[in-house]
């Protein structure tokens, strides 16, 4: 049991002054402790635990035929880099004599990667509808996501969210190549003075 002593303060009493009777107040804290444990128990039983948030990624089936190869005009490559920078270019960039035009953007509302994805999807749809020679009517936009070693996990989650938001039918996360890393370095060097 706990006790609180409320005896007189530190006043000195002079001669001839009668001392007052010391009163002792005793407070029993046992019911308060019981109430505390009841409240803790109540909150533990009524709290819902947060469920882990996961993202579903469907992996493609490995095939040996060449029918699943992406077309150059359908493909957009997205390079995730440091400081939340996003580099992108249209095409496969398989011709070293003709390097692609690499653009840089961020995850922002205006002029961000979302606008680039929407524009790419629109361009692929227009070319498919116009019946360009060598273009299959079933061609769809293909996005290749290549995170750099300097990119952050948050950027990967953001780009996967963009794929879902923009309803991109085909996208893949693959390893970045040394050629793509050189594109990032060259673009950073070109934009350094700006």
Q: How many CB atoms lie within 10 A of CB 76?
A: 24
Residue 2 — pLDDT band, cuts 50, 70, 90?
low
- Which of 94, 114, 110 has the alpha carbon at shortest distance from 180? 94
Residue 135 — pLDDT band, cuts 50, 70, 90?
low
Starting at the edge strand found earlier in the chain, the sheet holding 103-105 runs: 103-105, 86-90, 75-80, 142-147, 170-173
**pTM of the predicted protein model:** 0.62
Least confident of 2-6, 23-27, 103-107, 176-180: 2-6
- Which of 99, 141, 144 has the alpha carbon at shortest distance from 121? 141
Least confident of 42-51, 103-112, 133-142, 169-178: 133-142
Domains assigned to the chain:
75-191 (3.30.420)
Asked if pLDDT for residue 54 goes beyond 90, the answer is: no
Instruction: Kindly state the DSSP code that residue 84 receives in the 8-state scheme.
Output: G
Question: Given this model, what pLDDT does residue 41 score?
Answer: 93
Residue 12 — pLDDT band, cuts 50, 70, 90?
low
Residue 28 — pLDDT band, cuts 50, 70, 90?
confident
Asked if pLDDT for residue 192 goes beyond 90, the answer is: no
**Neighbouring residues of 135: CB distance < 8 A, sequence distance ≥ 6:** 71, 73, 127, 128
**In the chain, % of residues over pLDDT 70:** 76
Asked if pLDDT for residue 172 goes beyond 70, the answer is: yes
Asked if pLDDT for residue 3 goes beyond 70, the answer is: no
Question: Given this model, what pLDDT does residue 35 score?
Answer: 92
Question: Given this model, what pLDDT does residue 191 score?
Answer: 73
- How confident is the prediction for the chain on average, in pLDDT? 80
**In the chain, % of residues over pLDDT 90:** 13
């Amino acid at each position: 049991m706990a006790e609180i002593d409320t005896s007189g303060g530190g006043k000195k009493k002079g001669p001839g002054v009668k001392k007052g009777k010391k009163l002792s107040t005793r407070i029993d804290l046992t019911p308060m402790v019981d109430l505390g444990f009841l409240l803790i128990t109540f909150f533990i039983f009524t709290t819902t635990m947060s469920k882990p948030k996961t993202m579903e990624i469907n992996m493609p089936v490995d095939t040996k035929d060449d029918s699943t190869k992406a077309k150059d005009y359908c493909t957009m490559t997205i390079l995730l880099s440091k400081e939340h920078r996003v580099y992108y270019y249209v095409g496969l960039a398989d011709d070293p004599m003709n390097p692609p035009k690499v653009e840089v953007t961020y995850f922002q509302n205006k002029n961000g990667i979302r606008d680039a994805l929407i524009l790419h999807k629109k361009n692929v749809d227009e070319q498919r509808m116009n019946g360009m020679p060598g273009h299959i009517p079933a061609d769809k936009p293909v996005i290749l996501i290549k995170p750099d070693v300097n990119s952050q996990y948050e950027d990967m989650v953001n780009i996967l969210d963009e794929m879902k938001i923009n309803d991109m039918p085909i996208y893949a996360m693959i390893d970045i190549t040394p050629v793509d890393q050189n594109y990032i370095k060259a673009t950073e060097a070109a934009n350094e003075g700006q």
